[in-house]
Amino acid sequence: MKQPKNSPPPMQFDAQHFRVLFEKSGEITLLIDAQSGDIVDCNEAAVEFYGYSAAKLKSLQIWDINTLPEETVRQLLRQLVVGSRTNFEFKYRLSSGEIRDVGVYSIALEIAGRKIIYSVVHDQTQIKTAQAGVILFRRVLECYINGIIITDATPDTRILYVNSAFERLTGYTLAEVRGKNPRFLQGQEHNQTGREEIRAAIKEQRAVRTILKNFRKDGTAYWCEVGISPVRDQSGNLVSWVGNYNDITARREAEKKLEYLAFFDALTDIPNRQLILDRLDRHLTTARRTGDHGALLFLDLDQFKHVNDVQGHEAGNELLRTMARRLQGFLRESDTVGRISGDEFILLLPNIATTAERTVEQLQVVLRRLNDVISEPIKIDHSKYNLTASIGITIFPQQNVTAADLITQADIAMHRAKESGRNTCCYFEPVMQEHIKETTVLVHDLHEALARSDFRVFLQPQVDVSGKLIGAEALIRWQHRQGGLISPAKFIPVAEDTGLIVPMGEFMLREACCMLRKLELAGAAFRLSVNVSLRQFQLAVFPERVKQIITTTEINPAHLTLEITESVLLHDAKAATAKMRDISQLGIGFSIDDFGTGYSSLGYLKNLPLKELKIDRSFIQDVPGNPNDTALVEAILAIAHHHDLRVVAEGIETAEQFDFLKSRGCPLFQGYLFGRPVPAAELVDKMLLPYSGTKAPAV
Ligand code: C2E
Ligand code: CA
Ligand code: CA
């Protein structure tokens, strides 16, 4: 071949040049005597790698550096000489003691009659470390608790890799998803906001964190918190995407459940107080703007407590669930029914009419239908329940009245409905709120009065047909510090509600027994009647208390009568009867007060340990003029006679009433005609008068 013009003359390499090349080559190079294993020469790269000086290195034998045993190394050298092997992997020891993985390329040369091995050494520690790193990363990804997807950097972001957590989470294997765009995981739910966010982030090549609803291979849905990040190489080019999928289905469900519980009643699945308040608040705002009026109904089931106590909580719960379903079925779409607590429901009926008056009119129809819905018998197990409800109503909007105020108003009205005999409804009036305020003051005063013993016993005489004093009823009075004598009608209901009636009742019983003792000691055979309230009677320890008092006062129990009302029997007749038996065994007589005003059947009379009936004043008032009352009083007297019960006619104010009752066989009387309630000492003195100084007759 002809040389082109102007080309430089070919270079001549001599031994000197090769020596420089050997010295300066970046390759770690050693010359080894194949026979003796001596390192006969080394270059600068070798000096640097091994950390020995050139002189030191040249004083060593190759097995001082190679970690293999001398014998093995000798054998390898022999193999090299015959040319059978050229590439090796060894571990070499550096002067520092550190062991390095090396790849060695060796050839045998003959130099000056000696067999010399020319070895070029490649430090592979870095490569090995990198490989180990890759393996470790794979392991980490496989063990990682979250699902990982790695995709390529093409616009279609095709899946390159998924870890085992992903496979477990989705049910798809790597083979099934490789090459796909991860968007298939969202199934048909293309329009999720999370997906929009991811799309935007990928377009802008930035990281994104969002929530996705995905679907498993079996079609079930799960929620993921997804973090997707771009992966770049050293020069900043996008090479792939890595996505971290954290399954948050359980957490979301728990959150949803919590959210639900914050606004719904777990037992009945209807809104709770909070949600009612929220909705009421919203309706109030619209009502104020549009001028439309709505109503809030507070509904309390009358007999629920009884069902719960007698039939057990499961029956009670079933009853509440049934009632909730019924009320829901009864309402319009825009109405809300919620449960406030226990057996208390709220009905929220917005937009009824444009004025308060029209709203009340329209409500009449609603209330009639509501009554039908509530009173329809409920069957649970084998029992049938006929329920009624007391309903408090308030109309909105009102000026400066919040949602919470409205609930309070309806609640107050409901209590008023309950007081006026249950199974009724009652509209809220502002005076009721005044009443509540007064009550709060009253409760405070009552506590004080009890602590200071401001209560007094008054006695009202009871007489026989001849008008002779035979006993008295003890009636409580409150000697108010400023207000003079306060009648029980004012404070007994509040005392009942607050439980203060219990200590009051005990005070009355103890005082009455002390008076009886005084009368008995003087030889006077009078009877005293003491009123026992429902709350007091229901106390488990009540029989025990009565026993204690009559034992400590040492009275003749036959002189004591306990007046109870029919309400005592209404609550738990069986338990009440048993308690009455207990007490009457002590020799104490029971009387049914206000007889005829209760609801219970007369059938119970024969099962009770009774001594006496008191005909209520309301029946006596109009006899003999009113034929209805006359017939009723006659009937009561006949029943009493039949059951061998004593009868006391209460509230006798006129001679005509007295005459009429005498003529119908009534044996005992009480009323203003014979005497108003007077301070106990006054009547006791009067009773004692005939006995003072004389020997007492036997009882
Ligand atoms: P009650 O047990 O039915 O008592 C009879 C009430 O009728 C008494 O009212 C009495 O003063 C009144 N009264 C008696 N005769 C006549 C009459 O001829 N005409 C009129 N208009 N009224 C008459 P009072 O003392 O105001 O007591 C009212 C209610 O308070 C009692 O009704 C009773 O339910 C309750 N109460 C009074 N003291 C006690 C007590 O110590 N314990 C309990 N638990 N309740 C009591
Ligand atoms: Ca009474
Ligand atoms: Ca009475």
How long is the chain? 699
Phi-psi region of 176 (alpha: psi -120 to 50; beta: other; left: phi over 0): alpha
One domain for residues 460 and 601: yes
One domain for residues 539 and 520: yes
Ligand 1 binding pocket mutation candidate from 450, 455, 463, 492 (most atoms within 8 A of CB) = 492
**CA distances to 18, 179, 239 from 153, in Å:** 49, 12, 5
Indicate which CATH number applies to the domain containing 184: 3.30.450.20
List Cβ neighbours of 383 (8 Å cut-off, separation of 6 or more): 311, 315
Q: Over 90: is that where the pLDDT of 255 sits?
A: no
- For residue 599, the CA-to-ligand 2 centroid distance in Å is 18
Mean pLDDT of 153-174: 94
- For residue 501, the CA-to-ligand 2 centroid distance in Å is 14
By residue range, what is the domain housing residue 40? 11-124
Tens-place pLDDT, residues 511-550: 999 999 999 999 988 999 999 999 899 999 999 999 999 9
pLDDT of res. 6:
64
265 lines ligand 1 (CB under 6 A): no
One domain for residues 243 and 272: no
Indicate which CATH number applies to the domain containing 349: 3.30.70.270
Tens-place pLDDT, residues 269-283: 999 999 999 999 999
444 in a structural domain? no
Ligand nearest to the CA of 533: 1
- For residue 617, the CA-to-ligand 3 centroid distance in Å is 7
Query: What is the number of domains present in the chain?
Result: 4
- Per the prediction, the chain carries an average pLDDT of 90
Q: Over 70: is that where the pLDDT of 454 sits?
A: yes
Band (1; pLDDT cuts 50, 70, 90): very low
One domain for residues 588 and 512: yes
Ligand 1 binding pocket mutation candidate from 506, 531, 619 (most atoms within 8 A of CB) = 531
Query: Nearest Cα to 29, choosing from 122, 115, 124, 121?
Result: 121
492 lines ligand 1 (CB under 6 A): yes
Residue nearest to atom 17 of ligand 1 (CA): 651
pLDDT of res. 598:
66
Peptide bond into 271 cis (omega under 30): no
5 in a structural domain? no
Residue nearest to atom 11 of ligand 1 (CA): 677
* Domain end marker among 253, 279, 301: 253
pLDDT of res. 64:
94
Q: Which atom of ligand 1 lies at the shortest distance from residue 487's CA?
A: 26
pLDDT of res. 271:
95
Tens-place pLDDT, residues 357-378: 889 888 988 999 999 999 999 8
E strand residue ranges, 70-123:
87-93, 99-111, 114-123
671 lines ligand 1 (CB under 6 A): yes
Answer with the residue of higher pLDDT: 38 or 12. 38
436 in a structural domain? no
Rounded CA separation 180/157 (Å): 8
302 in a structural domain? yes
Mean pLDDT of 556-565: 96
Ligand 1 binding pocket mutation candidate from 473, 475, 549, 590 (most atoms within 8 A of CB) = 475
Q: Is residue 108 within 8 Å of residue 86, measured between CB atoms?
A: no
One domain for residues 602 and 558: yes
What residue type is 322 in one-letter code? T
What residue type is 656 in one-letter code? E
* Domain end marker among 253, 272, 303: 253
Tens-place pLDDT, residues 31-69: 999 999 999 999 999 999 999 999 999 999 999 999 999
pLDDT of res. 632:
87
Answer with the residue of higher pLDDT: 156 or 307. 156
543 in a structural domain? yes
- For residue 541, the CA-to-ligand 1 centroid distance in Å is 25
304 in a structural domain? yes
One domain for residues 163 and 214: yes
> Which range is most confident: 78-82, 87-91, 441-445, 468-472?
468-472
Name the burial class of residue 143, with classes exposed (0-12), middle (13-18) and buried (19+) by CB atoms within 10 angstroms of its CB.
Answer: exposed
Q: Over 50: is that where the pLDDT of 698 sits?
A: no
One domain for residues 217 and 331: no
* Domain end marker among 253, 275, 308: 253
Query: Nearest Cα to 58, choosing from 35, 45, 42, 36?
Result: 42
Q: Over 90: is that where the pLDDT of 230 sits?
A: yes
Q: Over 50: is that where the pLDDT of 301 sits?
A: yes
Residue 600: other Cβ atoms inside 10 A:
14
**CA distances to 391, 426, 439, 491, 494 from 435, in Å:** 18, 15, 6, 13, 11
Rounded CA separation 656/290 (Å): 63
136 in a structural domain? no
505 lines ligand 1 (CB under 6 A): yes
One domain for residues 384 and 294: yes
Write b or e for each residue in 309-328: b if 16 or more Cβ atoms lie within 10 A of its Cβ, otherwise e: ebbeeebbebbbbbbbebbe
475 lines ligand 1 (CB under 6 A): yes
One domain for residues 98 and 197: no
pLDDT of res. 14:
79
What residue type is 492 in one-letter code? I
pTM higher than the cut 0.85: no
Answer with the residue of higher pLDDT: 300 or 21. 300
One domain for residues 366 and 412: yes
208 lines ligand 1 (CB under 6 A): no
503 lines ligand 1 (CB under 6 A): no
Query: Nearest Cα to 345, choosing from 313, 364, 322, 368?
Result: 322
- For residue 531, the CA-to-ligand 2 centroid distance in Å is 5
One domain for residues 247 and 271: no
One domain for residues 112 and 152: no
Indicate which CATH number applies to the domain containing 571: 3.20.20.450
591 lines ligand 1 (CB under 6 A): no
Q: Which atom of ligand 1 lies at the shortest distance from residue 476's CA?
A: 38
pLDDT of res. 174:
95
